[in-house]
Structure 1
Amino acid sequence: MTTAEATPSSQPFTIDGQLCFALHSASRAMTACYRQGLDDLGLTYSQYAVMLVLWQHEAVSMGSLCEQLHLDSGTLSPLLKRLEKQGRVTRRRRPEDERTLEIACTEQGRELRERAREVQRGVERATGMSGGELAALREQLNELAGRLRDATAIQEGHV
């Protein structure tokens, strides 16, 4: 038994005492902070996340995109269809493997990158945190998310 398992929670059993609610509230506030700038670009926050992956990799398989965003294809498919209709991405079957759907950034999609970077900078300023503080918090949250995904996989018998 780990120390965390042996130690009862020191947080009160109230909404304000819940880590899950603090994370939920912070996530909603972060998304709202992005909303105005992304609206000006014609992107939702979820579309922005897809574009971030494509700006980094230019083209990815649907499986890779699902993995990087921790979303399933049923969630991503309608979002990608809307981005394709807007001319920002293309979706095509890979000739070498028809089972694999490849998502690629178009020139119109690439043109949004610098404007989106300015939106991100504005959100970073709104946090009031330094670059180092933001990096440390991001690392802590990524570690927490990984531990929680591992715990969920174990509970569901996937490990």
Structure 2
Amino acid sequence: MSPLKPYEVFRPTLLAEADPDVDYLQAIQDFASQRIEAISKSIIYQMQRIDSVGVFEGEAPKLRSLWDEWCWYQHRYGSDCGSLSQSFEMSLNALIEGTVEELGQAEAVLLSTAIAEDQTDMPNRSDDEISAVVRDVITEAAGYRSMSRFEIY
């Protein structure tokens, strides 16, 4: 089996506004964008290494990984499928939360500061906000992936 290439993701949209006249704020924004990209790619890489469970076997038998299934689910089903949606959401959330929890305190505070729209309580660590941005980046990447090679004609 050939090694997988890192999956390309888009730069995250960060809600905090950096003052362009204050260099360190822009540096925090740049760091956070790059780090969120790297975390998202890492989670996609993990998903590529988890075997598919075969839930879409009848309609797309070539799906080989959780990443393939997540992308198929995003293209074909969205989030309105009851227990199917719950299963996929729980799987992705577990991967994201586990990765975010492993971040060091200083890094998590910097990311939280760059992400938080409401800066009143900053700097504080907010794993929920970091996880939400990572999830958005991963979901957007899945939405842009072409699934035509998996379709049955």
TM-score by length of 2: 0.35
TM-score by length of 1: 0.34
Greater helix fraction, Structure 1 or Structure 2? 1
Q: Which has the higher contact order (CA 8 A, sep 6+)?
A: 2
Greater Rg over alpha carbons, structure = 1
